[in-house]
Chains A and B, each alone.
Chain A
Amino acid sequence: MDWINAIVQGVLLGGLYALFAAGLSLIFGVMRLVNIAHGDFIVLAAFLGLSITTALGVSPLVALGLVVPLMAAIGYLLQRGVLNQTLGDDILPPLLVTFGLSVIIQNGLLEIYSADPQKMSAGALETASISVPGGIAIGVLPLLMFVVAVVVIAGLQWVFYHSALGRAFRAVSDKQDIAQLMGLNKAHVFGLAMALSLAVVGVAGVFLGIRTSFDPSIGPGRLIFGFEAVIIGGLGNLWGTLIGGIILGVSQNIGAQINPGWQLLAGHIAFLVVLAVRPRGLFPRID
């Protein structure tokens, strides 16, 4: 029974990983940019949520209403102000600039919030659970996170394939110059893509902050989880990313079930196995 429980909890945890991954996948799809600071933005969002909940005395779920637009604004400004200048044939500038950003965010947060672990409280929601036949209890909060992840991914999928904005994303992704000739301002489109990516990061960060304790140094770890989910699922496939997140979450929980020290290791090994067997991921869409 412990095993079934571990798998069920792993699936729910996978939803959170898919949230980490969705924003990463989105900007890679639109502008082939890999944001090394992605994990640090997740932690930044968690701290923003913390500040808002303590300042206004509201629930973290209410704070989402402020964190998400705030993160989106940061994303747009960052893209227009800095990252657009790094895009080109050379992969080095965007990598190194986002790497620098990662160091800046980590140390900036350390300066403001100190290295102490923090946590957001969601009240009774945190301990509420639903009993399922077979003696398994499903927490309401993990379930809520999973449902939100599915909704976010469905939303991104809809934006990408059924909206004018998504058409612009796909156009600049296919051929930047032609898209520009057709009247799209690619600098603006990239800005919107990063805004959307960091909006998702805002959701992921607040949920992370409710689920576990966090401190300024944990960003890179979240980046790696998101990255692994993207690669396992296959590049450019959002639903694949959700499955990648679930595989990662389940492997981690199975690893932890065998030996508590193996939790993270088991996730990484699942990733390496997929890389060895299916280098392009399980459900690849783009090269």
Chain B
Amino acid sequence: MSESTYSISRSSNASRTAAIIGLLVLIALVAAPWWAGRADLRLLSEVFLYLSLACLWNLLAGYAGLVSVGQQAFVGFGGYMLFALAIFTGMSPLAAIPLAGILGALIAVPVALLIFRLRGAYFAIGTWVIAEVFRLSFAQVSALGGGSGTSLPIAVVKSMASSRSMREATTYWLALGMAVVVLASIYLLLRSRKGLALTAIRDSEVASQSFGIDIWRNKFFVYVGAAGLTAMTGALIFLQKLRISPDAAFSVNDWTAFVIFIVVIGGIGTLEGPIIGVIVFFLLRELLADLGTTYLLILGLVAIVVMLKAPKGIWGIIKDRTGLEVFPLSRRVVKTKTNQE
């Protein structure tokens, strides 16, 4: 008679290898200001900021069932808060960025209380209305340049670092740090008790409710948290641009359409999806940017085809074929030893 001992493991060989590779890539990326050119640094910063927006949108749509097409509300809000704090109080961007995040989370509370009254697709358009309200409101603030926008004061920019190259390296590290913080917090959230509740809600709202999960509260928590981090990302985006205007800050194409395409192409509802998606998105952009509007046409078409033919995206296909999991979220039963009598 044999008796086996089993244990529950969350990691696998693939995930351990991936963790080591990920760490090496991260070290190389931290050192990028010493090996990459100025243009590459800018491009990489943009990649990281899009990655963080994509991860946050994926958390909302792929895990919490909150399909928003109005995340530009918080990107723009965060950007404007950075500029407002810098212009009115002379605060250093390094302090203003986390504060912009906190303010973003605070403003998301009344917003959520209002638009959570709408369901499904109507919720999506409701978030868009909020973004429009933000855009039109900031366009009315003449101290922030009204409809034509304003620039970040030079004194504030110079206060960040003495030399231009140091300043550029700092904004690069901030962007990289932002992506790491977003990825890590989503990973830890999903591994926690709350993450389990979210996954249950994603799979079946009715079933999870019957287990006593408070759906409204979980969704509210995710929405407000994602808004805060989106606002921080927005502050970083406009710190890099040094100029803000209502149309750029609350652009649905730049901050929501592209982000949705990244997540859909990469694979919605997985942590790996946005990473794959952001790489594909920037490769396509570098290849097709000269085509202008045709590029956007192709992007829209690719997203529709992916949604119809492979709704789980590129990572979904890889996962189905290989069972690979880079971020160990699922639990598996492992046989540890077998006792023979």
Contact = CB atoms under 8 A, between A and B. Distances in A.
A106 B115 CA distance: 27
Interface string A67-104: 00000000000000010011000011111110111111
Interface string B101-135: 00000000000001101101110111011001100
A64 B20 CA distance: 64
Contact of A220 (B61, B117, B136, B252): B252
A254 to B, nearest CB: 16
Nearest to A263: B136
A261 B138 CA distance: 11
Given A85-B308, A86-B308, A103-B257, A275 B133 contact: no
Contacts of A36: 69, 121, 124-125
B140 interface: yes
A97 B301 CA distance: 9
A94 B307 CA distance: 9
Given A93-B308, A104-B301, A99 B69 contact: yes
Contacts of A57: none
A110 interface: yes
A256 interface: no
Interface string B270-311: 000000000000000000000001101101110110011001
Interface size, A (range): 35 or more
B121 A94 contact: yes
A271 B114 CA distance: 11
Contacts of A33: 121
Contacts of A228: 129
B299 A103 contact: yes
Given A92-B268, A95-B67, A100 B133 contact: no
Interface string A250-287: 00000000000110110011011001100100000000
B253 interface: yes
A224 B69 contact: no
Nearest to A261: B140
A253 to B, nearest CB: 16
A22 interface: no
A103 B311 CA distance: 19
A107 B297 contact: yes
A104 B69 contact: no
A97 B124 contact: no
Contacts of B307: 86, 93, 96-97, 100
A106 to B, nearest CB: 8
Given A96-B260, A104-B300, A272 B129 contact: yes
Contact of A34 (B61, B122, B268): B122
A251 to B, nearest CB: 13
Main secondary structure of the interface of A (DSSP, over half): helix
B264 interface: yes
A116 interface: no
A249 B216 CA distance: 33
A227 B122 contact: yes
A279 B61 contact: no
Contact of A276 (B67, B114, B136, B257): B114
A220 B128 contact: yes
A272 B308 contact: no
Contacts of B260: 96, 99
B180 interface: no
Contact of B124 (A34, A103, A269): A34
A2 interface: no
Contacts of B133: 265, 268-269, 272
A224 B300 contact: no
Interface string A222-238: 01100110010000000
A65 interface: no
B120 A91 contact: yes
Contacts of B296: 103, 106-107
Given A227-B125, A269-B133, A110 B293 contact: yes
Given A107-B293, A108-B297, A110-B293, A261 B129 contact: no
Contact of B300 (A95, A100, A111, A276): A100
B260 to A, nearest CB: 6
A268 B122 contact: no
B139 interface: yes
A196 to B, nearest CB: 19
Contact of A107 (B124, B268, B300): B300
A32 B120 CA distance: 10
A38 B122 CA distance: 13
Given A265-B140, A272-B114, A279-B117, 13 more contacts: A33-B121, A86-B307, A91-B67, A94-B121, A96-B264, A100-B304, A110-B293, A224-B125, A224-B132, A265-B133, A272-B129, A275-B126, A276-B114
Shortest Cβ-Cβ A-B pairs, 7 listed: A34-B121, A103-B300, A279-B117, A100-B304, A104-B300, A107-B293, A100-B300
Interface of A: 32-34, 36, 82, 85-86, 91-97, 99-104, 106-108, 110-111, 220-221, 223-224, 227-228, 231, 261-262, 264-265, 268-269, 271-272, 275-276, 279
